[in-house]
Amino acid sequence: ERAGGNVVQTIKENKVPVAFLAILLIQFILIIIDRALYIRRNVRGKFIFQILQIIGVHAWLFFILPGITRVKFRNNGAAQLWYLLKCIYFGYSSIQVRCGYPKRIAGNFLMKRFNYINQILYRGYLLVPFLLELRTIMDWMFTDTSLGLSSWLQLEDIYSNMYLLKCARWAETKYPTPRGQTRPKLTKYGVGGSLLALLILLIWFPLLFFSFTSSFYQKNPPVEVTVEIKLGGYLPIYRMTAQNGDISPFIAADYNELRTKIGQPANTEDAAAFIRDFNSDDITCVNMLAKSTEIWQISQPIRDILITDLSQNKSIPVRFSYTIVRAPPGQDDAEDITAEVANEHTIYILPENEGLRQSLIDILNGTIETRTSINITILRLMPRFIHVKPKAKPEEIESFRK
């Protein structure tokens, strides 16, 4: 159970253990050596190789591996299975040592017969990456020949094509078709239709997959939203964090009302097309309180600089920044999601906004009475609709501005 858990954990973390990689590499090298001895028909070398393998396998399984893993051989099921396979290999290898290698090596064992089964298996063998190339180069290396490597590769290619042609001739002899007669419609539409459907699926499946995956993802609503408003580059004049009750999901009635408003003629078709890709569960409403959680602490020299900038009709930036925190994705989640994303939206107070600038100057100078309330409106400062993506920065939905 512990080993199974380690395997699952390794797969989830997309890691390849060094020990596992070393075992695979050693096993691959042993296969190469065994193949070289077979081609050279070196029985003495095979005997020495067999003895060294037996000593190495038993030393590894019964002494080294239990010392590393602290698990005895009788309690290690994977090691027992591997040992069983090795014993079968040692048994067949001992037959080669006792009886010797064949005098004539007649090529690939799959090419002994001509039928559909051997043909399919041989085509599968050809599809394995680099397997044919490895075998061909090793045959050329360990075989006494006057051919160069390129000529040897051409010979192997001719031999392969001849075998496939002989399989085709066998099929024509086994299942003859009258010459000059059209193929049955069942064969044409059955075989041809299946291949056509398979090709169409291979062409369009990636697009269909990426198009429909957005409808099956697991929602991850925000758990915390923090908003700040800065006047110029100074400390924020407003800061508020929304949590728990201030964050509520959309219900079906809210979603239908939003779709109705967006579908009005005054809005663009892009807005209606955008909202169709989402359900009510995908939308979350965040309510920010009007009062800030922090007091605006600005020194008198900085206050004077800000008043001077407003009086001289300089463009003053007002920065609306927001940070959205979501639950971190677990290891079982297929989608890669960034737990915390943030962005900033900036609006400039231009020289022509005289009323707004004068109101800010009065507030900074303290000329307004304490009991007097004044409303200052900065248009398009706070985005009402924000699209929060899995990894990229959240952005305002441009088509929803109206």
The 10s digit of each residue's pLDDT in 205-243 is 887 777 665 545 567 788 999 999 988 777 888 899 998
Q: Can you tell me the mean pLDDT for 181-186? A: 84
Compute the Cα dihedral for 5, 6, 9, 10 and give only its sign.
negative
Confidence band for 80, pLDDT divided at 50, 70 and 90: very high
pLDDT at 374 over 80: no
Using CA atoms, how far apart are residues 80 and 71, in angstroms rounded to an integer?
A: 12
**How many Cβ atoms are within 10 Å of 387's Cβ, its own excluded?**
15
Amino acid at 191: V
Phi, psi (rounded to 5 degrees) for 347: -125, 140
Per-residue confidence (pLDDT) for residue 285, from 0 to 100:
92
Q: Length of the chain, please?
A: 402
Mean pLDDT, the chain, as a whole number?
85
Per-residue confidence (pLDDT) for residue 274, from 0 to 100:
81
Q: Is 318 helix (H, G, I), strand (E, B) or coil?
A: strand
* 37-46, 102-111, 246-255: segment of lowest average pLDDT: 102-111
Per-residue confidence (pLDDT) for residue 269, from 0 to 100:
75
Cα–Cα nearest to 230, from 322, 310, 153: 322
pTM (2 d.p.): 0.55
Using CA atoms, how far apart are residues 343 and 392, in angstroms rounded to an integer?
A: 10
Task: Label residues 49-85 b or e (16+ Cβ within 10 Å = b).
Answer: bbeebeeebeebbeeebbeeeeeeeeebeebeebbee
Q: Which range has the top average pLDDT, 132-146, 301-315, 386-400?
A: 132-146
Per-residue confidence (pLDDT) for residue 273, from 0 to 100:
79
Cα–Cα nearest to 319, from 382, 397, 364: 382
Q: Which residue has the tokens 């038993």?
A: 58
Q: Can you tell me the mean pLDDT for 51-57? A: 97
- Residues 6+ away with beta carbon under 8 Å from 377: 356
Per-residue confidence (pLDDT) for residue 4, from 0 to 100:
46
Q: Is 215 helix (H, G, I), strand (E, B) or coil?
A: helix
Helix (H) or strand (E) holding 249: strand 247-249
Q: Rg of the chain over CA atoms, in angstroms?
A: 37
Amino acid at 289: L
pLDDT at 143 over 60: yes
Per-residue confidence (pLDDT) for residue 141, from 0 to 100:
94
Per-residue confidence (pLDDT) for residue 147, from 0 to 100:
93
Cα–Cα nearest to 223, from 196, 198, 243: 243
Q: Can you tell me the mean pLDDT for 15-31? A: 87
Helix extents (H) in 100-144: 116-127, 131-142
